[in-house]
Amino acid sequence: MSRHTRRRSASQVRMTLAGIGVLASAAVATTVAIASADEVPHDRAAATTKSAEAGADHAVFVQGNELAGNTIHVFKRGEDGRLTAAGTYLTGGKGGDQVDAPTDSLASQGSLVYDRRSHLLLTVNAGSGTVTSFRVEGQRLTNRQVVRSGGDFPSSVTISGTLAYVMNAGGAGSVQGFRITAAGLEPLVGSHRSLKLENEKVPLFSSSPGQVAFTPKGRELVVTTKSANTIEVFPMRPDGRPAHRAKVNKSAGAVPFAITFDKAGRMLVAEAAKSTVSTYKVLADGRLRLVQKPLANGQNTLCWLERAGDFFYGGNTGNSTVTGYRSDRHGRLALTNEVGIATAPSAMSQGVIDLAVTQDERFLYVQNATSGTVDGFRIGRNGSLTKVTTATGLPPFAESGMEGITAV
């Protein structure tokens, strides 16, 4: 059976997509220069005002995930949150597209991450089984390094201190550790752990793992699996290697996908089947203690979840909405409004997928896979979102599409 035939077939766990509208008008593509890893993009404007200088290091990075050659699209972020195209860089690898993926080619969270300690940007190249690191200098990417991911179809990365772990979604699935060095990533011998899944090299989107994440203190490594409905926790050893076997926990909600943590270190997991979020305490032996049972948001196919202070924002790809949540000091989660929509969808904002919050927690950026756009929102004191920018000209979802976003 061909891959295209499989794409049209019914998936094992179908995430229903509803409300994907037709764009009212075509977005005018933003023209950016393709730059090598050691070149300054030709259209990068010099900061000429005090305001621009103050925000000279502010940037938003988007992974294009193109099948023929993966790229990182760089945007300068103004003090008001507006985005200006600042160049595109080849990663030296290829993007990927999971079988039957409806809008999100990698079906994961955390495919593009930034490490503030080392100033490295890490991105997966799912189609070539590699991971690329760049050094970030404002809106300029330099010192490109490419390493093997240790498995098939890498789709998520997490960082803690000098450690980076990559999740490979294809085949049996695995996690592979790396040391972060001045020269990029160095494989950590003896760190590879199988997830014991039963996928093809290019996995079905609904049976691939959703994310790998370190707990805030780096003492545990967590992986969500979708169709298996498990949250697997590897306690970490002092040498930076995981325990040989993960503690396999049954998910409180169906189809666990994205992971984030509150200020106290409690873990929140987005569950796609019924658009719910569950809250857990991660115990030292890898067991999970449920703090709050699944909270529904009334939306369609919640997959992505990011924190901004005491607020959290979830991307609902099924009906192209963003949900806002607030958390109290006891870790109890509630919707910021009754209907579960923090910002109204628009014709230029279809196929909501991955999200990124700036370090100062002032702005939220949302990828819209079907539209090929990124929306930027100012976060209000009450968690409300006000749109301040829309970047166009990014790869829309077709055979593949952009996935992965991070803000500096």
Per-residue three-class SS string for 23-63 = CCCCCCCCCCCEECCCCCCCCCCCCCCHHHHHCCCCEEEEE
Q: Residue 281 falls within a domain, yes or no?
A: yes
Give the predicted TM-score (pTM) of the model.
0.87
Q: Residue 46 falls within a domain, yes or no?
A: no
Name the DSSP letter for residue 351: S
Q: Residue 209 falls within a domain, yes or no?
A: yes
Q: At 3, which helix (H) or strand (E)?
A: helix 3-8
* Cα–chain center distance at 129: 18
The pLDDT of 40-68, averaged and rounded, is 63
Cβ 72 vs Cβ 86: under 8 Å: no
Does pLDDT of 9 surpass 50? no
- Residue 69 backbone phi and psi in degrees, to 5: 180, 110
Per residue in 230-255, pLDDT tens? 999 999 999 999 999 999 999 999 99
Token output for 385: 């979102």
Beta bridge partners of 2: none
Q: Residue 4 falls within a domain, yes or no?
A: no
User: Whole domain around residue 267: which residue ranges?
Assistant: 32-38+57-407
Specify the CATH number for the domain of residue 391: 2.130.10.10
Please give the tally of structural domains in the chain. Answer: 1
Q: Residue 171 falls within a domain, yes or no?
A: yes
Give 17 or 219, the one with higher predicted confidence: 219
Cβ 74 vs Cβ 86: under 8 Å: yes
C-alpha span between 285 and 297 (Å, rounded) = 31
Q: Residue 115 falls within a domain, yes or no?
A: yes
Per residue in 260-307, pLDDT tens? 999 999 999 999 999 999 999 999 999 999 999 999 999 999 999 999
Q: Residue 189 falls within a domain, yes or no?
A: yes
**Which region among 59-63, 98-102, 244-248 has the lowest average model confidence (pLDDT)?**
98-102
Q: Residue 1 falls within a domain, yes or no?
A: no
